[in-house]
A = this chain, B = another copy of it.
Amino acid sequence: MTEQLIAKQDQASPRTLALAERLRTAIGAAKVLTDPSQLRTYECDGLEAFRVRPGVVVLAEERDDVVRTVKLCAEAGIPFVARGSGTGLSGGAVPVADGVLIVLTRLRRILDVDPDNARMTVEPGVINLAVSRAAAPNGQAYAPDPSSQQVCSIGGNVAENSGGAHCLKYGFTVNHVMGAEVVLPDGKVVHLGGSAPEHPGYDLLGAFVGSEGTLGVVTSVTVRLIKVPEAVQTMLVGFHSVADAAGTVSDIIAAGILPAAIEMMDALAIEAAEAAVQCNYPAGAAAVLVIELDGPGVEVAEQFDHVETLAQARNAFETRIAQDDEERALMWRGRKSAFAAVGRISPSYYVQDGVIPRTRLPEILADIDALAERADLRVANVFHAGDGNLHPLILFDDAVPGATQAAEELGFAILDLCIDAGGSITGEHGVGIEKKSKMASQFTAADLDTMQLVRCAFDPDGLANPGKVFPTPRLCGERPGVRTAGTAPDPTLGEVF
């Protein structure tokens, strides 16, 4: 169906081509692409199943390119989608057919480094890892570390509220973004947040982070930096049962220990990682935990012993402690390669992203097993165990008729488990195109209406990344309570004081 659409739209409509001409005049012809062969590159993001060719691609080089592009889109009533590195896994940066795709990768300047206040301001195309690299000479780092951190951009992280292995201790992107300059869908430039810890008025920055491009385009981001911890220690623990591994996770948290990361992989994920990167994980393990502690040396040492004791009480059969950076890197290589590694043991795979209360891990993992068996599919589990963020990898063979659909259905059934357990349909990958139909299971109609109020307030014409996140296409004029000018007297008491 998607392929058909692309075939029909080899060339943008005359209306969009006319906008392209105005864009060329406004920001320079070299930054505006309309040649179908050039546009192909931008058809999809990391969720490759969804492909749509845009009408125009803008390669923005400075903030004003974004402002002018958004303004011209608003005038023409043509939708736009912002794109960072294109590594997102939920289709959030899939273009709108015949619309404009604003590519932000060339906006990659570091604008300000303020080690005294532990802040850095960067353009949205700056790569996640580049922030930590620029902070390193001052002994500081940027905490959120998605597995894609070598390629994903800060702007994309802001759109998706990205997490990473270390968000158990350090929190998500929203906990590290202090301020942002944003181009609203009408082209107005506003500043949300700032460098002070608290601000009056509505915390719109918090609502903007994770809004998946539906409220505007970010053009600069001020992040807070953490001090690089004095000590880091990593251990790899093997268990003969998934339940024991999950129980150890709960025991560690219950003991008041907050590791920087607790990652879990089951036997099938271990098998895949072993085939791909020879990480030499404990043989015969039903599950492994990668546990990393950081902080003052004396604290890490004491807590590390405590964690080891807790794991042994849950029948851990092998515990390895990284003796140097090389061993530590090897332990992480198995975990970080797991998604790609699954490609070694299956023709195709589909990764899901759901959240459950940590205390229900063993039970939900058993339920996933049961669902997988019923669907006659294999599921490899790799996840951020400490905060209950599951990443089931569903293995299938796309050459088998119906297998793709069966994998998708299993993925959605797993999300239903997450919702029923009081969790969430996404931990860090976002809703995008992929999971918008699930929003109606996660939220009541009133809850979704309330989000729609904000969407319509920022973007009444629905031009910013339309067709993402929300399940039901809806006219903003349809929302209840909208007023036309002059009918709503404001009973403010301003004049009394």
Contacts and interface: CB of A to CB of B under 8 A. Distances in A.
A14 interface: no
Q: Chain A's interface: helix, strand, loop or mixed, by majority?
A: loop
Contacts of A196: 355-357, 388, 422-424
A426 B198 CA distance: 7
B446 A190 contact: yes
Given A298-B298, A427-B198, A475 B489 contact: yes
A264 interface: no
A406 interface: no
Given A186-B481, A457-B457, A200 B442 contact: yes
Interface string A353-374: 0011111000000000000000
Contacts of A455: 202
A28 interface: no
Nearest to A442: B200
A245 B335 CA distance: 47
B203 A447 contact: no
Contact of A431 (B201, B298, B496): B201
A488 interface: yes
Interface in A77-124: 77, 79, 96-97, 99, 116-117
Contact of A456 (B161, B457, B472): B457
A288 to B, nearest CB: 23
Interface in A186-242: 186, 188-192, 194-204, 206-207, 209-211, 215, 227, 230
A37 interface: no
Nearest to A489: B475
Contacts of A430: 200
A355 B256 contact: no
Interface stretch (A271-279, A343-351, A395-403, A460-468): A460-468
Contacts of A444: 190-191
A455 B203 CA distance: 12
A450 B204 contact: yes
Contact of A483 (B477, B481, B491): B477
Given A198-B426, A457-B454, A494-B473, A203 B190 contact: no
A175 B174 CA distance: 11
A130 to B, nearest CB: 23
Given A1-B496, A486-B477, A388 B197 contact: yes
A113 B60 CA distance: 51
Given A463-B491, A491-B463, A482 B480 contact: no
Contact of A186 (B96, B448, B480): B480
A204 B454 contact: yes
Interface in A1-33: 1-2, 5
A439 B302 contact: no
B52 A496 contact: yes
Contacts of A191: 443-444, 447
Nearest to A228: B256
A477 B473 contact: no
A201 B116 contact: no
A497 B436 CA distance: 11
A450 B184 contact: yes
B198 A207 contact: no
Nearest to A421: B196
A451 B486 contact: no
A458 interface: yes
A358 B460 CA distance: 40
A492 interface: yes
Contacts of A451: 201-202, 204
Contact of A200 (B209, B425, B482): B425
A409 to B, nearest CB: 16
B198 A428 contact: yes
Nearest to A436: B494
B481 A482 contact: no
B460 A481 contact: yes
Closest 8 CB pairs of A and B: A206-B206, A477-B485, A467-B493, A457-B457, A473-B492, A453-B457, A299-B299, A227-B256
Given A199-B442, A203-B210, 5 more contacts: A52-B493, A195-B357, A203-B209, A296-B303, A473-B494
